[in-house]
């Protein structure tokens, strides 16, 4: 019996690719380029399963392809706002993602961004590499203390709670949050957290605001010029969620005018096409979407997709089924 045909849209860790080859008739995007709409449409016509990532825009146009051979989109990543779920549902597609396994590493990156921007680590590293450091002096690159400051979380899901644990128990930070669908009170109490009634309340009270809300049409530009104006002038914004949750131009303006003190960003609107305004700012730490970028996590993500695929083709419900 011939194996089911599977396409991986970007290169995966070697261990995951080897496992896929054992189970399926595998094709890989060997040169790791972002696939075009035409390439994605061809994949949906020719393969039983397509395994996309955040770089693959599977919109209604792409998903309208005829004929449709693909039966499942096994997404490599927890976020799925690059997939038009309504269009996928209308085509009878199953969509899965990879929650849980990237929680701690993404929270680690959020902590790293917070520490780096508060203590001006990016500026210092650039100064040393440029040969411009002239030695220690009392007023050199003075930043902000993190320990004991208030951390405000927009969203209180898995990654937010992992960050809260590290910040509260590691840095004695009081935790406040807004989430329209909060967890049980005992979960909130475990972090000594305080629930706020609105996003604005978090913005007004927090020294550091970290975004952990999903990317969606509803959350596009959730943090806009008006909401940035509600933040304290000495506050910092941290984003490891999705780039379009923030109005990037409004954030650049707020940073340029020192309306807020700084930002630590791992995601951007339209990435990897970066708004050049960010590059002119010394009060922004910019990472190239590193949230889950550890060997352990990326392998775990790939294996999670494989588990979802094998369950689906065995006639079972995948553990991480989105639709």
Q: What tens digit of pLDDT does each residue of 207-262 get?
A: 999 999 998 889 999 999 999 999 999 999 999 999 999 999 999 999 999 999 99
26-54 tens-digit pLDDT? 999 999 999 999 999 999 999 999 999 99
Percent of the chain with pLDDT over 90: 98
List the one residue out of 171, 172, 173, 170 whose CA is nearest residue 152: 173
Same fold across 5-101+295-313 and 103-286 = yes
Residue pLDDT, tens place only, 311-323? 999 999 999 999 9
Query: Which structure tokens are listed for 112?
Result: 């790293």
Regarding the domain delimited by 103-286, which CATH topology (the fold level of the hierarchy) does it fall under? Rossmann fold (3.40.50)
> Distance between CA 125 and CA 45 in Å, rounded?
48
Q: What is the predicted pLDDT for the residue at 2?
A: 78
Q: Is the pLDDT of residue 198 over 60?
A: yes
Give me the residue spans of the domains in the chain: 5-101+295-313, 103-286
- Assess whether pLDDT exceeds 60 at residue 303: yes
Whether omega before 41 lies within 30 degrees of 0, making that bond cis, reads no
Q: What's the mean pLDDT in 88-97?
A: 98
Residues annotated as catalytic (active site), given as ranges:
242, 271, 289
Reply yes or no on whether the pLDDT at 1 is more than 80: no
Q: How many residues does the chain have?
A: 323
Average pLDDT over residues 264-293: 96
Residue 92 has pLDDT above 60, yes or no: yes
**Mean pLDDT throughout 257-285?**
97
Phi then psi dihedrals of residue 258, to 5 deg: 60, 30
What would the mean pLDDT of 133-149 be, rounded to a whole number?
A: 98
Q: What is the mean pLDDT of residues 259-270?
A: 97
User: For residue 273, is pLDDT > 60?
Assistant: yes
pLDDT given at position 152: 98
**pLDDT of amino acid 217:** 87
95-132 per-position pLDDT tens digit? 999 999 999 999 999 999 999 999 999 999 999 999 99
In the sheet that 25-28 helps form, which strands lie side by side, from edge to edge?
25-28, 5-8, 49-51, 72-74, 94-96
Nearest Cα residue to 165 out of 115, 110, 206: 110
Top CATH class, 5-101+295-313: alpha beta
């Amino acid at each position: 019996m011939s194996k089911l045909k599977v396409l991986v849209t970007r290169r995966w860790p070697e261990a995951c690719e080897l496992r896929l080859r054992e189970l399926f008739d595998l094709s890989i995007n060997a040169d790791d380029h972002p696939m075009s709409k035409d390439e994605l449409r061809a994949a949906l016509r020719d393969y039983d399963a397509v395994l996309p990532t955040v770089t693959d825009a599977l919109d209604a146009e792409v998903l309208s392809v005829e004929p449709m051979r693909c039966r499942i989109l096994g997404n490599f990543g927890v976020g799925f706002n690059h997939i038009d779920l309504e269009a996928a549902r209308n085509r009878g597609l199953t969509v899965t993602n990879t929650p849980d396994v990237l929680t701690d590493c993404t929270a680690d990156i959020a902590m790293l961004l917070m520490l780096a921007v508060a203590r001006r680590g990016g500026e210092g590293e650039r100064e040393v590499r440029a040969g411009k450091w002239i030695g220690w002096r009392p007023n050199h690159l003075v930043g902000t203390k993190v320990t004991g400051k208030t951390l405000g979380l927009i969203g209180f899901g898995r990654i937010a709670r992992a960050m809260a644990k590290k910040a509260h128990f590691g840095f004695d930070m009081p935790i406040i949050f807004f989430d329209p669908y909060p967890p049980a009170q005992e979960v909130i109490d475990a972090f000594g957290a305080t629930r706020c009634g609105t996003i604005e309340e978090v913005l007004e009270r927090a020294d550091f605001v970290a975004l952990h809300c999903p990317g969606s049409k509803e959350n596009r530009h959730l943090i806009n010029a008006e909401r940035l104006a509600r933040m304290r002038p000495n506050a910092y914004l941290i984003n490891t969620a999705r780039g379009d949750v923030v109005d990037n131009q409004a954030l650049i303006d707020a940073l340029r005018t020192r309306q807020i003190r700084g930002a630590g960003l791992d995601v951007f609107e339209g990435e990897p096409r970066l708004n050049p305004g960010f590059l002119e700012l010394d009060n922004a730490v910019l990472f190239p979407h590193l949230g889950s970028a550890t060997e352990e996590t990326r392998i775990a993500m790939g294996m999670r997709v494989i588990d979802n695929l094998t369950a689906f083709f065995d006639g079972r419900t995948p553990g991480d089924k989105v639709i």
